[in-house]
Amino acid sequence: MTQLSLAPRRRAFLQFMGLAGLATLGNVGSLLATEPKVTTPPYNTFTEEEELALGRQFSAKYESKVEILSNPIIDAYLNDIVKKLGNASQRPQWPYQIKVVNDSEINASAIPGGFLYLHRGLLEFVSDENEMVGAIAHEVGHVVARHTTNQLSLLLIAQHVFDQVKHNILMDNDVFAQVLQQLGGPVVVLAQLRYSRQNESEADLLGFYEMLRAGWNPNGLYKFFTRLAAKTGSQSPVDVMLSDHPATEERARVMRRELESINVPSGLREQTFQFQALKLALSIMPPAPRPVRQ
Ligand SMILES: [Zn+2]
């Protein structure tokens, strides 16, 4: 079946979804339009429990290297958003959470199991809630598609330590930490697990449909990439530590094409009071420090 023959059916389906209301959009039972269906490659045999344990170890190491900005109101707002996006994703069971890294970089990252980090520079860069939710939804997309554990599995298999990690990861010992140390330390390992361009495109599309189902206009992703390209040129710095992104203009173009292929339902979330409160809270804090490169 060609793309052309799919398009009218897609429009009809989304018109129906719009008429049926947002409550129906919250049901992840069927994929929408060109949303990729997430599958795990056979070499990634980590169970969800094991993946969560890996994520806890990585996140503890990461948080010991950066300054976390803890603010109960900001944390509650961002965690409410990521839970809505997670519930609308193809892995709704993950315990998604967000922490803010107090540095000026326009950056975000995701660690297996749903540990997301937004840098303060990104929160200061975005101009409305939709753009910010677009960046979060993209990171949720990486978690949903298990991009990091797919890459990690290949690395551990190549180093002949995959069985050792699998055997020990749920035990109360530090074997995984030792393996990471042998491979150069967690930061070096994470830096090796670069997302491919295909991973990035998949995370963009997964994020697009997470937003739509969770009740946000997915034009936030288009606006985010368009403004980012204008500010930084073609290479996006978002999850720069971990990825080999396609050019930002190309990502904006793909998101616009996706927007044009659907009928965006009415009644989606617009600018919110909480977002204005977030911006105000950030503006009265001391300036964000420059990022520390490990
Ligand atoms: Zn990414």
pLDDT at 255 over 60: yes
Number of domains present in the structure of the chain:
1
Provide the whole-model pTM.
Answer: 0.86
Residue 150 lies in a domain: yes
Residue 6 lies in a domain: no
In the reported structure, the alpha carbon of residue 245 is separated from the centroid of ligand 1 by a whole-number distance in angstroms of 7
In the reported structure, the alpha carbon of residue 20 is separated from the centroid of ligand 1 by a whole-number distance in angstroms of 32
Residue 119 has a pLDDT of: 94
Residue 109 lies in a domain: yes
In the reported structure, the alpha carbon of residue 244 is separated from the centroid of ligand 1 by a whole-number distance in angstroms of 8
Instruction: Work out the average pLDDT over 35-53.
Output: 94
Q: Which residues contact 7 (CB under 8 A, 6 or more apart)?
A: 261
Contact in structure between 102 and 71 (CB atoms under 8 Å) = no
Across 29-33, 138-142, 262-266, the highest mean pLDDT is recorded for: 138-142
In the reported structure, the alpha carbon of residue 270 is separated from the centroid of ligand 1 by a whole-number distance in angstroms of 25
Residue 278 lies in a domain: yes
Instruction: Work out the average pLDDT over 280-287.
Output: 94
pLDDT at 187 over 80: no
How much is the mean pLDDT over the chain? 84
Exposed / middle / buried, residue 119 (Cβ in 10 Å: 0-12, 13-18, 19+): buried
- Structural domain boundaries, residue 43: 38-283
Band of residue 235 on the pLDDT scale cut at 50, 70, 90: low
Residue 190 has a pLDDT of: 79
For residue range 58-75, what is the model confidence (pLDDT) as tens digits?
899 889 989 999 999 999
- Rounded Cα–Cα distance for residues 147 and 203 (Å): 9
Nearest alpha-carbon partner for 288 in 102, 133, 113: 102
Residue 247 lies in a domain: yes
In the reported structure, the alpha carbon of residue 106 is separated from the centroid of ligand 1 by a whole-number distance in angstroms of 13
For residue range 143-171, what is the model confidence (pLDDT) as tens digits?
999 999 999 999 999 999 999 999 999 99
- Rounded Cα–Cα distance for residues 171 and 246 (Å): 39
In the reported structure, the alpha carbon of residue 64 is separated from the centroid of ligand 1 by a whole-number distance in angstroms of 22
- Rounded Cα–Cα distance for residues 105 and 116 (Å): 15
104 or 19: whose pLDDT is higher? 104
Residue 27 lies in a domain: no
For residue range 103-148, what is the model confidence (pLDDT) as tens digits?
998 889 999 999 999 999 999 999 999 999 999 999 999 999 999 9
Residue 32 lies in a domain: no
- Rounded Cα–Cα distance for residues 105 and 118 (Å): 9
Residue 12 lies in a domain: no
Nearest alpha-carbon partner for 245 in 223, 231, 263, 228: 228
Residue 233 has a pLDDT of: 65
For 204, list phi and psi in degrees, rounded to 5: -60, -50
In the reported structure, the alpha carbon of residue 195 is separated from the centroid of ligand 1 by a whole-number distance in angstroms of 7
> Sign (positive/negative) of CA torsion 132, 137, 143, 147?
negative
In the reported structure, the alpha carbon of residue 200 is separated from the centroid of ligand 1 by a whole-number distance in angstroms of 5
In the reported structure, the alpha carbon of residue 224 is separated from the centroid of ligand 1 by a whole-number distance in angstroms of 13
In the reported structure, the alpha carbon of residue 8 is separated from the centroid of ligand 1 by a whole-number distance in angstroms of 31
Residue 18 has a pLDDT of: 38
In the reported structure, the alpha carbon of residue 203 is separated from the centroid of ligand 1 by a whole-number distance in angstroms of 6
In the reported structure, the alpha carbon of residue 197 is separated from the centroid of ligand 1 by a whole-number distance in angstroms of 9
Residue 32 has a pLDDT of: 65
